[in-house]
Structure 1
Amino acid sequence: MTSEQADRAVLFYESRSFNYDDSWHDHFTQRFAAEISIQPGQHVLDLACGTGLLTFLEADAVGSSGHAIGVDVTPGMLRVAEFKKRKEPEKYAKVDFYQGDILKLQDIEALKGKQFDVITVSSALVLFPDPASAIEHWTEYLKPGGTFAVDSTHPRNLIPGMVLERVARRLDLQVPYNREWSQNESSLKGVLESAGLNVDKVITVENQSGYGKRQYEVGQWDDFFVENVIVKDVARTFANNDIRRKAQGLYKEEWERLAVNGQVEEIDSVFLGVARKPADGSRYVASSSSKETVFEGGCRCGGVRYTSTQQPSHVTFCYCRACSSISGSGYLPFFHVDDDALNFTHTSTMKTLVLSKFADRFFCTGCGAPIGMKYHFEEGVTALVLGSLDLDTFKGTIPKVEQHIFLREKAPWVTVPDDGAKRLETFAFAGQMGIE
């Protein structure tokens, strides 16, 4: 977070300081704390602590023999936290709060030379443009073997704000959050591993703020544009009238892209990850980063075989007419593997099938099994059919479905599962494919 971004965060949260505890955050921090094993006597660092909701829960867990420290950049939030501490001075004698940019912990004198048993970051990771680098910085203050816990948003959580972020990116404007990378549990797991941590678990916490799921009409985009840009734009990102006019058109466009059958679905969930720093203080390297084969696959007759040194990702169910026709079913499920991790060991019966100018498909001529597809505009990645993966060779956990695409072409006899995955009438790259 640059100093300008820190200033924007202060603007964004300062006005919310005195009613922050009246929101869903109080209940969510209790659920967050319940997923971490904090022991009496431990030292805990709570970053982006806000009003201390999580910090005080952690202080209760470590007891009088432990120590809990909260750090936040917003003065108003810390004034509320200090007020709560003064109400119970004896109970919270071992709780301290410091103001500072959590991407510059080295500037906080009280933290110099210290390492902690547990570090937590609740409802804040999406504020940072490079989450892996942020976590690497924070875990410099984590003891070897120590625990790190953090959450990130579901891609359909708080839809109006997510759309606003997309609009700002298209206009090359800065917003005080960065949510686009957080697509599923695997996204958060990958960020934690990229930061050198060994992931214990990543779970989906549903009903974060209590509403579960809700549907908006596609025509409601203007209401949310007015609310978020005209009324709530505290950081004044869209202060210029010309920019607002451009933003209005883009907001409508991005909102409509999310609609399926005239409805935009919002999902009240987040992903929560708990990871550890290796006990020897080294940097953890995920097995998918090595050259070890983590799964094999191929067609039914064996004429096409492949191996992968990378875990599957981006599981997508495609309902387009081509996938339906080729599979003889209602859809084809795909997953992604980087080309440098994929090795085809047998290709004697593999042939290429060109059904459009956008992608090449390949299949087995021996048994007719579809194998995969490569989009021309997506270099370095191959989409493999999920059914081609040999489960008895697989070392890991199949990621959850990330998205259902081309729903406007879905066969009427197919029911899309209510699995919380993203739903698109076309495809995320529809613009590049020339699809309206």
Structure 2
Amino acid sequence: MEEVTVKNAVRKAYAEVAEKNSAGEDCGNTKSCCGAPKQTDIEYNKELGYSEDEVKGVIDGANMGLGCGNPTALAALKPGEIVVDLGSGGGFDCFLAAKRVGKTGHVIGIDMTPEMISKARLNAKKGNYENVEFRLGEIEHLPVADNSVDVIISNCVLNLSTDKPQVLRECGRVLKTGGRVAISDIVATSELPEKIKQDLALYSGCMAGATPINQLRESLESAGFVNIKIDVKEATRNFIKKWSYDSGAEQYVAAANIEAIKG
């Protein structure tokens, strides 16, 4: 599939999620990373790895259940750190991160969908999150200065990129030496069939664009990362099956925790 076609399809899918959620409507498959219920599904979010306190402790409308893990917990954030969230959506993970880094820290959310940026900025204003900002941009070309960030988090977004190695090179560019990535994402555990790879709905749904684990490791190494850990969560195939529109994608992909340090 052509890069522009894929990117436009992804942007359109998530713009619809933002607009319908803001209007108080269900959107698409509500238990998937490209659909959202009109009200937060606490049990589903607990299945993704969030605590009930985390889910209930953030302003309504920020959490649309669009992830596949809990990168803020994985990152072990500390007060005063500068954090970038790739594909920040309505701002849920950014707001969780903001609490962890405190008033002396700062969180920057990056999203390529204007509707999501508008929603996130409104949520930040409503929740009085003064140490969070949202910037419109593509994760392949981050609007962030070189060597300025302590931690990069991301939740089920890397797989949506049409150029994953470029995203990881950008992570290496903006991180300080010794900075780290903590990413929850969908990875390919075996070769995806062509019928899945070529399905735009499954691409927007975080499955068709999943990177094989060995390629992901090689891209991280090429981008200058060390101490790479890719921990596949086999149990996540259970909820991915609910995303997959009977495609059988859960046989080929699973969620993983991805950690690495800039050397």
- 1:222-241 to structure 2, matched below 5 A, reads 224=246
Q: Which has the larger radius of gyration?
A: 1
Map of 1:345 onto structure 2: none
TM-score by length of 1: 0.43
CA separation of 1:87/1:162 partners in 2, compared to 1, >3 Å: closer, same or farther? farther
- 1:17-416 to structure 2, matched below 5 A, reads 17=18, 18=21, 20=36, 22=40, 24=44, 28=48, 30=50, 31-89=70-128, 92-105=129-142, 108=143, 111-112=144-145, 115-155=148-188, 164-167=195-198, 179=208, 182-184=211-213, 186-208=214-236, 211=238, 224=246, 266=251, 269-278=254-263
CA separation of 1:139/1:212 partners in 2, compared to 1, >3 Å: closer, same or farther? same
One-letter code aligned to 1:188: L
Structure 1: any 5+ residue segments left out of the alignment?
170-174, 216-220, 225-254, 259-263, 279-436
Q: Distance in 1 between matches of 2:7 and 2:95?
A: 24
Partner secondary structure for residue 103 of structure 1 = coil
Structure 2: any 5+ residue segments left out of the alignment?
27-35, 51-69
One-letter code aligned to 1:96: E
Once the two structures are TM-superposed, the CA of residue 114 in structure 1 deviates from its matched residue by 6.1
Q: Distance in 1 between matches of 2:165 and 2:152?
A: 15
Q: Distance in 2 between matches of 1:276 and 1:180?
A: 24
Q: Distance in 1 between matches of 2:131 and 2:146?
A: 18
One-letter code aligned to 1:277: K
Deviation digits for residues 207-227 of structure 1 (CA, Å, limit 9, x no counterpart): 448x45869xxxxx9x85xxx
Higher RCO, Cα 8 Å, sep 6+: 2
One-letter code aligned to 1:128: S
* Higher fraction of strand: 1
Partner secondary structure for residue 211 of structure 2 = coil
Aligned residues between the structures? 220
Once the two structures are TM-superposed, the CA of residue 152 in structure 1 deviates from its matched residue by 3.3
Aligned 8 A contact 2:145 2:174 in 1: no
* Higher fraction of helix: 2
CA separation of 1:275/1:154 partners in 2, compared to 1, >3 Å: closer, same or farther? closer
Aligned 8 A contact 2:181 2:261 in 1: yes
CA separation of 1:29/1:140 partners in 2, compared to 1, >3 Å: closer, same or farther? farther
Aligned 8 A contact 2:98 2:106 in 1: yes
One-letter code aligned to 1:71: I
Map of 2:57 onto structure 1: none
Once the two structures are TM-superposed, the CA of residue 6 in structure 1 deviates from its matched residue by 3.5
One-letter code aligned to 2:223: A
Once the two structures are TM-superposed, the CA of residue 276 in structure 1 deviates from its matched residue by 0.5
Q: Distance in 2 between matches of 1:82 and 1:15?
A: 17
Q: Distance in 1 between matches of 2:4 and 2:254?
A: 30
Once the two structures are TM-superposed, the CA of residue 25 in structure 1 deviates from its matched residue by 6.0
Map of 1:13 onto structure 2: 14
Once the two structures are TM-superposed, the CA of residue 28 in structure 1 deviates from its matched residue by 3.1
CA separation of 1:207/1:53 partners in 2, compared to 1, >3 Å: closer, same or farther? farther
